Amino acid sequence: MNYNTKMKTPPNHRLTSIFSFVPVPDSWKRWTLLVAATCLAASQSISAITGNYYEIGNANSAGVSPVNSQWVTFTAQENSTISEAQINNSADITGAPVLEVGLYAVNGSGIPTGPALSSSTISPSGLGWHAAALDYTLVKGTVYALRVSTTTAGTSYLWRLNFALSGNVLQPSGAVDSHWLRGINSGDPVGTSQNVWILKTGTNQAVGQPYTSTPSQGVGSTAVAIGQRFRFDLPSSGESLLESVSLKLNIDAAPPTNPLTVKLLDQNGNVLTSGNLDLSSAAAGPAYFTIDFDESQALTAGEFYYLAVYSNSSVAKSATWMGGQTTNDALYQSATYQGTDAYAVTWNSQSTFGTPTTTDLSRDYFFQLNLGAVPEPSTWALLGIGGMVWLFATRKRRLSGH
């Protein structure tokens, strides 16, 4: 999932409710609003938290030959021992190359430097994934390069690439990292595409950049709801109040006339909050749409939740929820951005959400949780300000004899 924490506007509806029972002149209301806004601004923070998304891709590739090595760079997200690297070939291999697959340190420009920290050689043949044994303990926060090269003359290996097709493409968690780049030989790293790769750790988990297709699922149906299961991992900011969600939708030339409904469910299918989005005037094509929930919902770290999405339109695919899909491959499904923690579901109902009708472990829909701080401190601050103003106003009336 992807998290975004944001500055919230002062909750004027709460101030209004305070003023409904506090006899305060308009001038004092304006003063109170200013103080409240200042207090809220001081209590909130602005930051962007990235989540575990993977990029949609295609079958393009980059060649590895004696004059053309390839690498990807990444920042270790935790201390972990790497036991294996998997690289993906997208076309028939020319000749019989012997490839060195190595883990390297990088210089300040993100280019592999020095001897390999760990490496092995493989002789791949055919399409698909090829494994190379590695043995190295990554240090959290350190930048590394996974490099593939060959000295076998006259041969090539085509390392599959993923491309950022447009500004609407959700990137993997490393995409905002200046070191999530692709490089060729000793030239400058290239940031427009990433090689397909997966590293396996000693605990048989996986991190990296898998190849995915780009399915979309129609949200226009009179009976069915589609959804995404996810586990809430508390971001480093500590903010856990879900205020809205952003979905990546593709709108057909004739957008749905009925609003899109999004419900947040707990792991048992109970509705926690919901929101609607009018798409009747939406422009055709893919874009992000934000749905504000009727009521904010505090999420609990480590708990599982569902997003249920549907429209009561009879037009089957006037809008689709975009996502990524892999093959049913154990390597994919052990990856941190995939697997049993997060996957697509459907329900044959738009009113009750118990056990999903279907699950698809190979599919993830693109969404972003927009978080803010839990409101209790600011709410008490507003009540305190309102109480102070009320006491002041009451004392003033007593002194003036009114």
CATH number reported for the structural domain that contains residue 204 in this entry: 2.60.120
As given in the structure block, the two tokens for residue 189 are 């790293």
Last residue of a domain, one of 209, 244, 271: 209
Which stretch of DSSP H or E encloses residue 296?
Answer: strand 285-298
pLDDT of 290 reads: 92
Whether 200 and 274 map to the same domain: the answer is no
What pLDDT is stored for residue 313 in this prediction?
A: 66
Tokens 């007593």 correspond to: 398
Residue 326: inside a domain: yes
CB crowding 40-49: b at 16 or more within 10 Å, else e: beeeeeeeeb
How is residue 10 annotated by DSSP? P
User: Per-residue confidence of the chain (402 residues) as pLDDT tens digits?
Assistant: 555 554 333 334 444 444 444 455 555 555 554 544 444 333 333 222 233 333 444 567 888 889 888 888 888 877 889 999 988 887 778 888 999 999 999 988 778 999 999 999 999 988 888 999 999 999 988 989 999 999 998 878 988 876 544 333 333 333 334 555 566 654 545 455 667 788 887 766 667 776 666 677 888 777 899 999 988 878 777 889 999 998 888 888 877 788 899 999 999 999 999 999 998 889 988 888 999 999 999 999 889 999 999 987 665 558 888 877 765 555 555 554 444 567 889 999 999 999 999 998 777 787 888 888 886 554 545 555 655 655 555 555 555 655
47 domain-assigned: no
User: CA-to-CA distance for 306 and 319, rounded, in angstroms?
Assistant: 20
Residue 293: give the domain boundaries. 214-372
Flag whether 255 is in a domain.
yes
Position 153 scores a pLDDT of 86
H/E element holding 262? Answer: strand 260-266
Say whether both 172 and 223 belong to one domain.
Answer: no
pLDDT of residue 8: 36
215 burial level (CB within 10 Å; 0-12, 13-18, 19+): middle
Q: Nearest-5° angle of CA 185, CA 189, CA 194?
A: 100
Q: Are residues 363 and 224 in the same domain?
A: yes
Q: Does 33 map to a domain?
A: no
**Number of domains comprising the chain:** 2
Listed residue (394, 384, 386, 388) closest to 16, CA to CA: 386
Looking at the structure, tell me whether residues 198 and 169 fall in a common domain: yes
Cα(79)–Cα(77) distance, integer angstroms: 7
341 part of a folded domain? yes
What the block records as the tokens of 80 is 């972990």
Amino acid in the structure at residue 150 = T
**Domain presence at residue 383:** no
> Does residue 84 belong to any structural domain of this protein?
yes
203 with 219, same domain: the answer is no
Residue 334 in tokens? 């052990």
| Residues recorded for the chain | 402
